[in-house]
Structure 1
C-alpha cells in the first residue's frame, strides 16, 4: 500500500537512532544463523566481518553503528586485542565465546562489555536476538538514578547507559519528584535508601502517587544489612530491590526483567483497549475516554461529538477485495489520528465507522477541523496492485447542549446527522451548519 494522507497535525520528528549491527566471527555457519535470526526478527541491517582488519574497514567507512557482537577467536587478534579494539572505539559490545572462561568473563565485564554469551548453548541464538531486541528498545526509555553519593550515582548511571537507556541522575528525593512529574518518558527509577531529608522508602511512596506500577518501575538499592528494607520498599510501591554491591550481570537481569514486565503490561492493555487492525482506541476504550472527558467537564458546552463513516465501503471490498478494505481502514485511521489534537478523543466504533470528541470553543472551529479531515481522506490514493483506490467519508456531528447533555444522546444525534449526510449524497458534513 502507498497512501498520501494529508496530516494537519504531524507528529514531531524524533532523532534517528543508529541501526547497524556488526557481527565479528570466524565461524561462517554460526554467523549465518545469527545474522538471519536478527534480520528476520528485527529488520535491522547486519554487516559481517571475520577479522579485526575487516571490522576496522567497515567501522571506518560506514556510520550508524548500534551494536557489535564479536567472537574471541580471530586470525589477526587474541582475546585481549579483540576486547581492547572495541572498547577503545566505545562501541556497545557483546562477547560471544565458544568456551566458558571465567577469567575472560570477568575481564570482559570489567571493560564495560554488555554481556558474555556462550555460543555453544542450545538457545544462544534466541538469547542473543532477545538481548539485541532489549538493547534496541531500551534506547526509547528514560531512566532516573536517585543517589546522594556522586560515585554511586555515576556508576549506576553508566550501567544504565551501557544498556542503552537515556539516563538522568539527581542527588535527592525532591529533585527526583520534580523530574518525574515533568517527564512522562521516565519508565525506570533506581532509588538509593540512605539519603538525607527524604530516604528511599519515602521517595518510593511519593513516586507511586505520581505514577502507577504499570507505568514506571522503581528499584530500591541499599548497602544496609537490615532485612526489613526489602519488604518495606516493596510495600511502599517498589517493583524490586538490589543489595549493594551487585554485579553488572545481576543489575542487567533485574533491570531487564522489570522493564519487560512493564512492556508486557502495556501490550496486554493495548490488546484490551486498541483496535487490532487500525491501532486506534476500540469502541469500549473510546466510550470510556469520552465519558471521563465529559464528566470532568460537566459545565463545558464547547464539545462536539462526531461519527465518521467511509462511503461505499462494501463496494471497496467487492471491487478490490477484503485485504484492500483493511488497507483502506488503516489509511483512514492514520488520517484520523493525524487530525486528533491534544484534548480530542478518537477511535474505531466498528466496521467502517469511526468517532471523535472535539474540544472546540465554537461550532465554526469544529466545522473547519472536520472539513480538513474530509478533504484529507478525499486526497488519499492507495495503490492496490497498480490500481488506485480512492474513498470519501460522510460525517455527522452533534454539539453539546441542554437537549444533548450526555454521551449517549450526543452519539445518537451525531448518528442521525450521519444518516442525513449519507442520504444527502455522501462526502459531506451534517450537524454543524447552523453554527
Structure 2
C-alpha cells in the first residue's frame, strides 16, 4: 500500500516511516504540505495520507479538505491526521475537514498498524465499488457514463493544441446475429469485439452493439490506421454457435480533436462518419474529415 506522510519535523517523518517501511509499505514523506498535495494529485496509487495538523504552508486541516476532494473524484483515499495535542476540538475539526481517522503524534506501532489495516479494508472496498460503478458488466469495458468522464478528463489534459482521435464502432447486422443464432451468441460477439478494443486508449461500451475508443495523443491518420487494423481483426473473429462458427464485421467512424473542440463535437463527428460507413456498405472505416462526411455534417 502506498502511503504519504506529512509533518514539519523530519524526525517525526523518520519515526513514522521507520514503522511502515519494514512492513512493506511504500512511503513518501514531505515537510511541505503544498508539495505533498501536488504529489497526491498526480499519484493515483496513494491510498493513505497521514498528516500532522501542524504543517505549512497549507494547514493540516486544509490539506485534509483538499485530499478529501481528490477522494470524491472517484478515487480511494484514507486520511489520518496526527497531533501531539489530542483533544475533542482537534478531533472534531479534523473529522469535519474530511479526515477518516485521528492518531496521536508520534504514533505507537501497534495502534498505527491497526489503523492502517482498517484503511486497507476500506480502500479495497471503495476500489471495488468504483469498479462496479464504472464497468459494463458484460464486457468489462467502461460503461457509457464512465467513458464520457474519462474522455473529458483526457480532453482537458490534451488542451486546445493537443492531439486525440476518437473511434466509434458498431457491429454490423447485429440483430441478425441475435435472431439467427440466439442472444448467447450475440453476447459472445459483443464480448469478442470488446476484447479487440481493450488494452489501448480509453475504451467503452456505449450501449447494445456500439463501442467507443479514444486515443489521446494520436492524430487522425493514426486513428484511421488503428481502426483499419481493428476492422481486419473483427473480420477474423469466429464466434462459436450451435450450427458452427459465426462470422461478423464492424463499421468504424473516426474523428480527430481540433482547436476549440468539445467532447460532444468530437464524438458527434465520429458518429456521422460511422453512419456513413454503415449506409455505404458496412465493414468500412470512414473518417469525419472526408468531404462527403463534412457535407453531411453541414
Coarse TM-score class (shorter-chain normalised): 0.7 to 0.9
Q: Write out per-residue CA displacement over residues 119-143 of structure 1, whole angstroms, 9 at most, x where no aligned residue.
A: xxxxxxxxxxxxxxxxxxxxxx322
Within 5 Å, which residues of 2 pair with 1:32-431? Answer: 141-146=1-6, 148-149=11-12, 150-158=14-22, 161=23, 166-170=25-29, 172-173=31-32, 176-177=36-37, 179-181=39-41, 183-193=43-53, 198=55, 202-203=59-60, 205-206=62-63, 208-209=65-66, 212-214=70-72, 215=75, 216-243=77-104, 246=108, 248=110, 250-290=111-151, 299-300=160-161, 303-340=164-201, 345-359=202-216, 362-382=219-239, 388-399=245-256, 406-408=262-264, 410-431=266-287
User: How many corresponding residue pairs?
Assistant: 281
Q: Which runs of 5+ in 1 are unaligned?
A: 1-140
For the pair shown, the structure with the greater C-alpha radius of gyration is 1
Q: What is the rounded CA distance, in whole Å, between the counterparts of 1:152 and 1:297 in structure 2?
A: 39
Greater Cα shift, 219-228 or 287-296:
287-296
- CA distance in 1 between partners of 2:172 and 2:186 (Å): 12
Deviation digits for residues 197-221 of structure 1 (CA, Å, limit 9, x no counterpart): x369824633653662343211123
The question of whether the paired residues in 2 share the 8 Å contact of 1:205 and 1:237 is answered with: no
Over 3 Å counting, the alpha-carbon distance change for 1:207 and 1:371 in structure 2 is farther
Structure 1 residues 201 and 225: CA distance shift in structure 2, 3 A: farther
Counterpart CA distance in 2 for 1:319 and 1:281 is 28
Q: Distance in 1 between matches of 2:217 and 2:92?
A: 49
> What is the distance in 1 between the residues matched to 2:248 and 2:65?
47
In 2, the alpha carbon distance for the partners of 1:354 and 1:246 equals 52
Paired residues of 2:144 and 2:206 also in contact (CA < 8 A): yes
Structure 1 residues 271 and 371, CA, compared in 2 at 3 Å: closer, same or farther? same
Q: In the alignment, is the contact (CA less than 8 A) between 1:306 and 1:414 conserved in 2? A: yes
What secondary structure is seen at the aligned counterpart in 1 of 2:282?
Answer: coil
Q: 1:315 to 1:217 in 2, by over 3 A?
A: same
Confirm or deny: 8 A CA contact 2:255 2:288 kept in the other structure. yes
Q: CA deviation at 1:348?
A: 1.2
Does structure 2 conserve the Cα–Cα contact (< 8 Å) formed by 1:339 and 1:373? Answer: no
- Residues 297-334 of structure 1: per-residue CA shift (max 9 Å, x gap): 67459554432111232343345432332232223222
Structure-2-length-normalised TM-score: 0.73
Deviation string 1:334-391 (CA, Å, 9 cap, x unpaired) is 2212232xxxx43211100012344456432221121122233334445568954543
Bigger helix fraction? 2
Q: Could you say what the CA RMSD is over the residues aligned between the two structures, in angstroms?
A: 3.9
What stretches of structure 2 of length at least 5 have no aligned partner? 292-298
